[in-house]
Structure 1
């Protein structure tokens, strides 16, 4: 195990609900995603860390989610994006084929952040390692609800997330009482249709 995944496990804990990655998926994304990520897929699979706080996911399963969030927005023209990771509460981490780790969406708030990459195409593997090394449990634990949610609802499977019902953008409350375990793809698609995606303002961060 290299230092990147050793650090991830040190920060989050052992992986859960590992899905083996078929060679066809690796070939599907060769040239679109960093070679280093494909190596990690082959070695570690798609799985969750921190009892499901942070997930490395199969981008193909989320193609519809990506389209639903980005179609008709200025982001659609910036790059070809693939969802490579997400949090238990629907923070979405995108990889742009030209711009790398340059877009995050907070789905429950319908807000996004873009980043300008200081690394060129030849350094995408380095950028991928930097992305993984800067993930942490706190930033993926919305409102410190992860432990109480796990106690109330159980540990997530790879296709699940914790979602607020009703959704926050519909006036729901961000409390444990309004949190449920939902199917990730379906819930993320629903959230994309509730409110227009907006950039974070300086006062929001």
Structure 2
């Protein structure tokens, strides 16, 4: 196994679900996403890690949700983005065709963080390695709620997340009693309709 990916698994947790990546998807994203990422897809598939706290995903399945989330924001015209990974609570990791891993959306909080830089093609594979190396359980566990949520609600399927009902944008509390298992894409679209994404104060744009 690639040393970088082995360290990622050590930090986030073992895979517990795997979906093979079809050749058609590899062909579609050749020249769009970095070769290193496609190589990881070939070897590891799209997976859930750490009991479902972090997921690598099929970008196609999230195109509608991402388009809905970024509509009307500064992100909409900056780059062409593809969702390549997500957390259990609505953390979304976007890859920009010109800017790499420059955007993280926290959909449950209606916030995003954008980094102001452009990358050359030669930088992209290194970006992929840096992205996976930067992940650890604590960084994707919202308020340390993943363990209690999994115990209370059960494990997530590949198309599910833990969502707050009512949504935090409605003024609901970030409390374990308000979490439910919800369909990820549908819930992200709902969140996009409730509140427009706003940048964090430390975001570059």
TM-score band by shorter chain is: over 0.9
Query: Where do residues 128-147 of structure 1 align in structure 2 (5 Å cutoff)?
Result: 128-147=128-147
Distance 1:192 1:129 in 2: 30
- Conserved? CA contact 1:101–1:117, under 8 Å: no
Instruction: Give a deviation string over 1:140-179, Cα, whole Å, max 9, x none.
Output: 1001000001101111111110000000001111111000
The CA deviation string for residues 84-141 of structure 1, in whole angstroms up to 9 with x for no partner, is: 0000000000000011000111101111101134742211000111011101111110
Matched position secondary structure for 1:169: helix
For each residue in 1:14-40, what CA deviation from the matched residue of structure 2 results, as whole angstroms up to 9, or x when unmatched?
102110100001111111110111110
Superposition map of 1:165-184 within 5 A: 165-184=165-184
In the aligned structure 2, how far is the partner of 1:202 from the partner of 1:75? 15
Contact in 2 for aligned 1:34/1:128 (Cα 8 Å): yes
Secondary structure of 2:194's partner?
coil
Shift of 1:185: 0.4
2:48 corresponds in structure 1 to 48
- Partner of 1:21 in structure 2? 21
Q: Using the TM superposition, give the Cα deviation of residue 72 of structure 1 relative to its aligned residue in structure 2, in angstroms.
A: 2.3
The 5-angstrom pairing of residues 97-112 of structure 1 reads: 97-112=97-112
Q: Does 1:86 align with 2:86?
A: yes
- The whole-number CA distance in structure 2 between the counterparts of 1:59 and 1:131 is 16
TM-score, structure 1 as length reference: 0.96
Equivalent-residue separation in structure 1 for 2:13 and 2:128 (angstroms): 20
Between the aligned partners of 1:134 and 1:116, the Cα distance in structure 2 is 18
Instruction: Map 1:29-68 to 2 at 5 A.
Output: 29-68=29-68
CA distance in 1, matches of 2:41, 2:116: 26
Gaps of 5+ in 1: none
Residue deviations 1:46-96 (CA, integer Å, cap 9, x gap): 011111111100000000011101122221111000000000000000000
Report if aligned partners of 2:17, 2:49 keep a CA contact under 8 Å in 1.
no
Q: Is the 8 A contact 2:100 2:118 kept in 1?
A: no
User: Offset at 1:199?
Assistant: 0.5
Structure 2 residue 69 is matched with structure 1 residue 69: yes
Secondary structure in 2 aligned to 1:101?
strand
Separation (CA, whole Å) in 2 of partners of 1:52 and 1:4: 20
Structure 1 CA distance for aligned equivalents of residues 68 and 127 of structure 2: 26
Q: Decide whether the 8 Å contact of 1:21 with 1:45 is kept in 2.
A: yes
